[in-house]
Amino acid sequence: MKNNELETKSELQEKSLFDKAVGRRSFLQYAGAGAAGIALVAAGCSKDRGYDNPTMNGATLDFKTDIGVLNYAYALEQLEAAFYIKVASAPPAAFTAAQKAYFQDVQFHEIAHREFFKKALSTAAIGSLEVDFSSIDFTSASGVLAAAQSFEDLGVSAYNGAGVRITTTDYLVLAGKIVSVEARHAAWVRDQISNGSFADLNSLTALGANNSAGLDGALTPDKVLAIAGKYVKTKINVINL
């Protein structure tokens, strides 16, 4: 039986989205990963995609090595990708044209991020996380924007807080390039909610931001996962933190 005969409708839809992401804005191109990043992706390629390999009995993030940090980022990117895909597929009726375009475009960023970590981790990757968005009203423009702000602000603080744990220079550089993209997302969403608030660090003190020092938020993985846990059904275990 041919491989495409084995794919479900949802898998084909996700594959189509990823193909668009690669064609529209290649992650390695806009991240500028260079030869080292390309080698990393090539070495990590596998037939299995993260969303085709569900994690049935929970996931363990072992921070003893860089692999744990990469899996941590992969888990967060799974969550963000799932959220943006859902919004882009059926945006709130009250969304403006610009807001619809934003969610359409950013879903490709998040899919690219997710797939990058999946390929980089190869067989060391955790499986797909089961998400729980029941607390989000996807028919409400304000509700969706508020959720997007929460995801983006948390994502920035997660990357910033985990950076100190990365020992491989190439990984650290790539993480920096991804977090800067996430920060752009966060700024845009914040401005949609309250015009001119895109650089308001005072509202991010709970995430570790320091306005007087001009520093964005940074949280340790345990604190990030405690907040993100509201949206994840899969049990995530953390060791060697």
Residues 6+ apart with CB under 8 A from 145: 99, 189, 192, 193
Q: Look at residues 202, 206, 209 and name the one whose alpha carbon lies nearest to residue 227.
A: 206
pLDDT in tens, 35-85: 333 333 333 333 334 344 445 568 999 999 999 999 999 999 999 999 999
pLDDT at 5: 46
Identify whether the C-beta of residue 238 lies closer than 8 Å to the C-beta of residue 69. Answer: no
The percent of residues above 90 in pLDDT, for the chain, comes to 64
Res 85: pLDDT: 98
Lowest mean pLDDT among 77-86, 142-151, 211-220, 230-239: 211-220
Cα–Cα distance for residue pair 157/89, rounded to 1 Å = 27
Q: What pLDDT score does 209 carry?
A: 72
Structural tokens at position 216: 């964005």
pLDDT in tens, 167-195: 999 999 999 999 999 999 999 999 998 88
DSSP secondary structure of 132-170: --TTS-TT-HHHHHHHHHHHHHHHHHHHHHHGGG---HH
Instruction: Please name the residue that has the structure tokens 């994840």.
Output: 232
Residue 116 pLDDT > 90, yes or no? yes
* 60 beta partners: 237
Please list, residue by residue across 193-211, b when 16 or more beta carbons sit within 10 angstroms of its beta carbon and e when fewer do. Answer: eeeeebeebeebeebbbee
Q: Is 26 helix (H, G, I), strand (E, B) or coil?
A: coil
151 pLDDT exceeds 90? yes
